[in-house]
């Protein structure tokens, strides 16, 4: 019986092209840091530290620790100046990306979250934990799904692995005390999200903003539009209610 629904965020619950978001983000954060570091050097370091998080197999350090360990290697800028600047970026500048990209909530997204919670499902925001909590909550705000009682939201502070590492999903199962056959993973990336199927988690590929690349490309158990996914989960509710 399914007890737990894992949702990817970008391109799944919040609708926009990830590449557009990424360039607006990198542009904004590099401008913010320009008073301390050359913007190109900053972006290079940021991407390298992010890559270190994504490929890390070290289950003892959080993604945040891995990120900063790499970011600060040989860095001549004091962290006590850089960190408040980045905090201020996430508070003041990052929220503006919503308007730059003209992002609006999907009308059915919040209702779906509320309905699943009402029906007693555990709901997890299984977004790749390469961002701080503040940035993830801000993107949830863009999608109109912020402020609900989620069972878990994976962030770089509370996670030790990233997608598409299968350990990312194992860590979620461990934190929730769930087995794979109790879970569905809903996502738009055929590699990062569908790799959950390797553990035996049922997968649903939402195709509206599909990303189909990467070395661990998988076939989903189910696929369709965002609306199809909403209908599918309504069916699942029906099936478990009568079983
Ligand atoms: Mg996604």
Cα(76) to centroid(ligand 1), Å: 34
Which residues, in sequence order, are CB contacts of 66 under 8 Å at separation 6+? 49, 52, 53, 56, 58
Which one, of 206, 137, 195, lies nearest residue 165 by Cα?
195
Cα(2) to centroid(ligand 1), Å: 22
Cα(10) to centroid(ligand 1), Å: 4
| Confidence class for position 213, pLDDT limits 50, 70, 90 | confident
Mean pLDDT of 111-133: 96
Contact 24, 101 (CB under 8 A): yes
Cα(74) to centroid(ligand 1), Å: 33
239 has a pLDDT exceeding 90: no
Number of C-beta neighbours around residue 38 at 10 A? 12
- How high is the mean pLDDT of the chain? 94
Structure tokens at 96: 């503006």
Cα(17) to centroid(ligand 1), Å: 9
- CATH dotted code for 4-17+104-242: 3.40.50.1000
- Tens of pLDDT, residue by residue over 57-94, are 999 999 999 999 999 998 999 989 999 999 999 999 99
Which DSSP category does 189 fall into?
A: B
- Count of CA atoms in the C-beta half-sphere (13 A) of 172: 33
Cα(56) to centroid(ligand 1), Å: 20
- Cα–Cα distance between 190 and 220 in angstroms, integer? 8
- Tens of pLDDT, residue by residue over 148-180, are 999 999 999 999 999 999 999 999 999 999 999
Which DSSP category does 89 fall into?
A: I
Q: Where are the domains of the chain?
A: 4-17+104-242, 19-99
């Amino acid at each position: 019986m399914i007890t737990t629904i894992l949702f990817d965020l970008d391109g799944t619950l919040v609708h926009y092209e990830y590449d557009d978001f990424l360039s607006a983000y990198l542009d904004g954060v590099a401008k913010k840091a320009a008073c301390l570091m050359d913007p190109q050097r900053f972006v290079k370091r940021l991407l390298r530290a992010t890559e270190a998080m994504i490929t890390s197999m070290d289950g003892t350090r959080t993604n945040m620790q891995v990120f900063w360990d790499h970011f600060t290697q040989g860095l001549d800028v004091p962290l006590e100046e850089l960190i408040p600047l980045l905090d201020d970026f996430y508070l003041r500048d990052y929220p503006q990306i919503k308007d730059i990209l003209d992002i609006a909530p999907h009308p059915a997204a919040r209702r779906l979250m509320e309905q699943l919670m009402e029906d007693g499902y555990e709901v997890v925001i299984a977004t790749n934990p390469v961002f701080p909590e503040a940035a993830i909550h801000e993107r949830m705000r863009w999608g109109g799904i912020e402020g609900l009682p989620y069972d878990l939201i994976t962030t770089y502070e509370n996670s030790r692995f990233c997608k598409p590492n299968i350990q990312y999903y194992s860590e979620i199962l461990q934190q929730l005390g769930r087995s794979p056959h109790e879970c569905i993973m809903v996502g738009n990336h055929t590699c990062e999200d569908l790799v959950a199927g390797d553990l035996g988690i049922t997968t649903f590929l939402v195709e509206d903003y599909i990303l189909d690349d990467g070395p661990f490309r998988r076939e989903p158990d189910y696929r369709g539009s965002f609306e199809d996914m909403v209908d599918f989960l309504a069916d699942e509710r029906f099936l478990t209610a009568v079983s």
